[in-house]
Structure 1
Amino acid sequence: MPNETIVIAVANHKGGCGKTTTVVNLASEFGRLGLRVLVVDMDPQANASMHIGKKHPSEITVTCAELLTSDIERLPQAINEDTMLENVSLIYGSLALGRTEDEIREQTPRPSEELRHKLEPLQGLFDVILIDTPPSLKLLTSNALAVATHVIVPIESGSQYGLYGVGDLMRHCTKIRKINPSLELLGALLIRHDERQTVCKLIENAARDQIGRLIPIKIPTSTKVAQAAIAQSSIHSIDRTSKVAREFKELARWIVQETKIVVTKEPTDGE
């Protein structure tokens, strides 16, 4: 049996909390470590796909939507190895995912486990699979959590609404563990965090209480995030000396240690 593939779902049903930013920049940092990375874009908005893909999602024949609703034989067609990031492959998201939930609910007796079934052949072929999820707790997010070995919950630290509904998410994770008992919580990831702001300190304490575990790395506010999205690149490529780039680098290294991923390459500061 090949080494286990770590599957990380980045989930929070609140929109605008940094899920896609986290997925894209973690993928970049894992790729820089020489890891084989796959990004699975389960969001109908397909922002991760438009960020790192070299084609528009509308040009892709087999996206996540087609993969979920067709035979597993289409899996090789769904994986796009040519992306904007080194060592990172992509299964595109698309607007069609908005209709997918009803289709798989009607077509399969275990609709929450369809993604797990479709990705099973990739076990050991990738070191890390990162799943970007939609701002919803419906079937697409359930599929992501059902296949994941770990989950990260990004929290918008600079907003008083950052923890809105997080209790529902944690209860949903508990529910999903009935079909995926190995799902582990890596923790809450504070996004747009500023230690000087009172609201950030309050959100940090509340997140610790409500979620139970905080990731020790905190991602600060930065204009580099938007610049990287426009350039279809990682924050590291835009400005590797920026604080936000350094924090994503540390986050990737922390996850490697926590999940015991075997790293094959040590990038130099100049890379």
Structure 2
Amino acid sequence: MTEKPTYVISVANHKGGCGKTTTVVNLSAELAKMGLSVLVIDLDPQANASLHIGKKHPSEVTVTCAELLVSEVEKLPLAIHSNTNIEGVSLIYGSLALGKTEDELKDHAPRPSEELREKIKPLIGIYDVILLDCPPSLKLLTSNALAASTHFIVPVESGSQYGMYGVTDLMKLVEKIHRINPGLELIGALLIRHDERQTVCKLIEASAKEQIGKLIDVRIPTSTKVNQSAITQQSLHALDRTAKVSREFRHLAETIVKLLKIEIGNN
């Protein structure tokens, strides 16, 4: 019997506030609603995805991503929490301790960028999709995420004139990661807080297509419901599935399933 494929998708951009966590949380919820088994790995020391999805505070969790990265793979089952605020989505918590983890990996790991890939190998074939929420940096945590991934998404804040700041550096990092993970594929740039009536959004859209090379055919609009969903620890789908921002995240999940040819209903 052939092992079912697991799609490991990093959501990466070292610019803060561009919608990485919002994308991970709501994409995970929509994929789970489609019947896929989903795991979120929170690699951000701010742990906002964990605060949204998890039923515990990250400080109460014994084995977070920080401990997993610097320990033996035997700790993996202790790191996975299947009882979360989003049905069908499991979580490996982030932690403030991830800030120190990069130094430990640099000093002690034989292959500092490949620890996460080794640690999650036992999960390949178990989950349909693993989503990695990357920190706003291009250091070892993001390198680990990309090295462990089959695909990546670059969220871009199209409503800001600084939306494309530093994207060239991210794409250079991807080129380096291709040496150890040649199969890593770009799904595309995802335009966040997009309003096609605004000139700045049109300019950022054109720039993203030129610098990143590919756009996902989905536009996530600005909405106060994003903050509401974070405060209430719900997905946008659960908060208001009819809202435009909810519909666009549903469209994003459907688009990714179609692009990657993810099979539904074989779990």
Name the TM tier (shorter chain).
over 0.9
* Whole-angstrom CA distance in 1 between matches of 2:56 and 2:32: 20
Corresponding position of 1:159: 160
- Gap runs ≥5 in structure 1: 266-271
1:73 counterpart SS class: helix
Q: Deviations over 1:225-252 (max 9, x none)?
A: 0000001010111111111000000100
Distance 2:122 2:201 in 1: 42
Question: Secondary structure, in 3 states, of the residue corresponding to 2:247?
Answer: helix
User: Cα deviations across residues 61-117 of structure 1 (Å, max 9, x unaligned)?
Assistant: 000000001110000000000001111000000000000001011111101000000
| Deviation >6 Å, runs of 4+ | none
- In structure 2, give the amino acid aligned to 1:187: G
Distance 1:132 1:191 in 2: 16
Q: Which residue of 2 aligns with 1:126?
A: 127
1:269 alignment partner in structure 2: none
Match for 1:124: what amino acid? G
Q: Take 2:56 and 2:91, find their aligned partners in 1: how far apart are those partners?
A: 11
Once the two structures are superposed, the pairs formed by residues 147-226 of structure 1 within 5 Å of their partners are 147-226=148-227
Match of 2:107 in 1: 106
**Does 1:15 find its partner at 2:16?**
yes
Amino acid at match of 1:157: S
Q: Hey, what does 1:44 align to over in structure 2?
A: 45
Superposition deviation, residue 260 in structure 1: 1.1
Q: Distance in 2 between matches of 1:74 and 1:211?
A: 37
Task: Summarize deviations over 1:113-171 as a string: whole Å, max 9, x none.
Answer: 00000000001100000000000000000000000000000000000000000000011
Match of 1:58 in 2: 59
2:23 partner amino acid:
T
Alpha carbon RMSD of aligned pairs, Å? Answer: 0.8
Question: How far, CA to CA, are the matches of 1:24 and 1:91 in structure 2?
Answer: 13
Rounded to whole Å, the distance in 2 between the matches of 1:35 and 1:87 is 8
Is 1:81 the equivalent of 2:82? yes
Deviations 1:164-191 (A, max 9, x none): 0000001110110000000000000000
C-alpha deviations, 1:187-239, integer Å up to 9, x for none? 00000000000000000001111111000001000001000000101011111
Q: Could you tell me which amino acid in structure 2 is paired with residue 112 of structure 1?
A: S
Q: Note if 1:25 corresponds to 2:29.
A: no
The aligned residue for residue 268 of structure 1 is: none
Tell me which residue corresponds to 2:239. 238
With the length of structure 2 as denominator, give the TM-score of the two structures.
0.98
**Count of aligned positions:** 265
Partner secondary structure for residue 230 of structure 2? helix
Q: Helix, strand or coil: the match of 1:253?
A: helix
Paired with 1:107 and 1:3, the residues of 2 have a C-alpha distance of 33
Question: Which residue is equivalent to 1:68?
Answer: 69
